[in-house]
Chains A and B, each alone.
Chain A
């Protein structure tokens, strides 16, 4: 029975429209996976020696200390990215298959998820290195297995708390909060958790406890699904409470206001669109990598501008690159109504502007790193507001990914947004400002470099009407193709 289900699963993967659509996406997915595997692998092989070289303590102890963050961030990433086990259950309900078989299948299927097997690329080399460095092999492997079980506990925990943003907010703020407290030296949680992870090593029998915990999680998740296998329970389409949006506020903007109001509703009422907003929010913290000196390679001024562009441009990139795909589900309506492309684009443009300004204001806490650092954030914001907010719409015109607004959790499924045209258009978005800044910085110094970015931005602002015209002509040219792609 499981074999039949598995073959159905394979078919649904290889026959899915996103998979069939283009070669680029498949190549990119493979590359993305290889990239992460490589990261895990180098972390697994290198962690021990890096810690040894940095002389921050006995490597194995340090690893045990920081493992809590490994596991903590794992659950956060899982929540944000890991797809839920969506077996297309409904047609199976009427067939001669036990419900519990279907549930077991969906749950076991998750073990094949990238989010689970990728950890092995970290744990296995790490364990080998540890034995090479003289730890007792039996104990190391038991410890390693315990940790893997705990990561799988995360897997099923994520299933249980899925869709519950409150739980997620608590977990995420615990993880991020303790990281921040530790960074500023206020409170360090790791000595306490270190005891726990060391115990997993010293008391090998604890692996049984970890396994028991895993089984407990598995069966709670199993029960959670099994009891909801009814059309009016877990399988029911949830009808949501409506969020009201004031009509009067938008009516003053005329036709643009009508579309803008829809776009606000689009963001407030659809998971997939809200995700773009969250991404924008997370990008605010991206600058920490650059401004705190955490990564040596990012010390140069040009990289700081790079950070500035991303800190204020998270929403711009995550939302903007999918215009007009956000409207894919009702694109035929828009194409038959009296809407000008200009109004349509202006609405999206306005939205991006508002969010960019908002993220810039939220990013003002970078002032604690000094005015100099904040100036990069501001420069990034200026460039985003004037040039990138238009260019990103240009790139979107080539993206013909149908977006299912009501489903999120498709972080890997949407990678076909990167076709070669959008890749080319990242040049003016990121490479161009960096090149200009770098060039002036090198020849005339940092002040001239900063002024040059402002000047280019102003020039870009005056080019806006022309750019809009170009984008509109692309929209018109691609109309039938776009409609066709959204229909399938």
Chain B
């Protein structure tokens, strides 16, 4: 579904992302891990055509994202609060997104039912603007809205951050269910190795802008994943150059 070829992003002299080739297939939950500055958000921004690649391109369903906008009807994302409209109530925001994706009111309500435990009665019917919600609740609104209309691909940047432990567990379950029921491919980034190893069918590790690991769940255990980062720390102490796998 996603084909990355020769992609790189350079600011002045620093290359913040460089991926020669990558294929993501339909229907998977894919996890992207890496330290701060590894290029996760840059990669997501390139996928969403929010920044321009320095070289190469990304195809989404055979559509080059930097040339056509047709991918917008099959792709949704929640990256940060700039994907929320602060002066709307959650209900208004949901119905705005639903309207853009041609989902009627009844279908929207059924869809949102799925999120009722996740919302924990703190989102709907509270008569509050989104900007007045807590960070965690804002995140819940953004994540739920991304799935409205069951897009083929949903991109979530750090969906677990800022959520309380219970909401994190619920979210994991929800993402799995949505992936199975609606067939959405989900591309998440996270700093939490446990969540990624439990949730994702495929795990990508970015380090200093380069893809250093690409493994299916069966191929890499949580311990191996942890070891990867501890190793990197140990190596980082002796040799500052990134590990090559």
Given A239-B128, A239-B132, A240-B129, are A333 and B92 also a contact pair (CB < 8 Å)?
A: no
Q: Is A480 an interface residue (CB 8 A)?
A: yes
CA distance A2 to B214 in the complex (A): 56
Q: Give B98-128 as 1s and 0s: 1 = Cβ < 8 Å from A's Cβ atoms.
A: 0111000000000000000000000000011
Q: Is A354 an interface residue (CB 8 A)?
A: no
Q: Which of B82-90, B169-177, B217-225 interfaces with chain A?
A: B82-90
Closest chain-B Cβ to A193's Cβ sits at a distance in Å of 43
**What residues on B are CB-neighbors of A329 within 8 Å?**
82, 85-86
Q: Is A269 an interface residue (CB 8 A)?
A: yes
Q: Which of A157-165, A296-304, A335-343 interfaces with chain B?
A: A335-343
Q: Which of A40-48, A207-215, A258-266, A379-387 interfaces with chain B?
A: A258-266
Given A258-B100, A338-B72, are A266 and B87 also a contact pair (CB < 8 Å)?
A: yes
Given A258-B100, A337-B97, are A242 and B89 also a contact pair (CB < 8 Å)?
A: yes
Q: Is B96 an interface residue (CB 8 A)?
A: yes
**What residues on A are CB-neighbors of B10 within 8 Å?**
none
Which residues 36-94 of B sit at the A interface, judged by CB distance below 8 A?
Answer: 48-52, 72-73, 75-77, 79, 82-89, 92
CA distance A69 to B96 in the complex (A): 48
Q: Are A333 and B101 interface neighbours, CB within 8 A?
A: no
Q: Give A315-333 as 1s and 0s: 1 = Cβ < 8 Å from B's Cβ atoms.
A: 0000000000000011111
Which residue on chain A has the smallest CB distance to residue B85? A330
Partner among B82, B95, B101, B129 whose Cβ is within 8 Å of the Cβ of A242 = B129
Please count the residue pairs between chain A and chain B whose beta carbons lie under 8 angstroms apart in the complex: 81
CA distance A262 to B114 in the complex (A): 26
Q: Are A240 and B52 interface neighbours, CB within 8 A?
A: no
Q: Is A58 an interface residue (CB 8 A)?
A: no
Closest chain-B Cβ to A273's Cβ sits at a distance in Å of 9
Q: Are A406 and B50 interface neighbours, CB within 8 A?
A: no
CA distance A377 to B75 in the complex (A): 49
Q: How many chain B residues have a CB neighbour from A under 8 Å?
A: 31
Which residue on chain A has the smallest CB distance to residue B97? A337
Q: Is A237 an interface residue (CB 8 A)?
A: yes
Q: Is B191 an interface residue (CB 8 A)?
A: no
**What residues on A are CB-neighbors of B95 within 8 Å?**
247
Closest chain-B Cβ to A250's Cβ sits at a distance in Å of 9
Q: Are B87 and A338 interface neighbours, CB within 8 A?
A: no
Partner among A247, A251, A266, A332 whose Cβ is within 8 Å of the Cβ of B82 = A332
Can you list 6 A-B pairs, Cβ within 8 angstroms, ordered by A? A265-B87, A330-B86, A333-B83, A336-B72, A480-B50, A483-B50
B positions within 8 Å CB-CB of A: 48-52, 72-73, 75-77, 79, 82-89, 92, 95-97, 99-101, 127-129, 131-132
A positions within 8 Å CB-CB of B: 237, 239-242, 245, 247, 251, 255, 258, 261-262, 265-266, 269-270, 329-333, 335-339, 405-406, 480, 483-484, 486-487
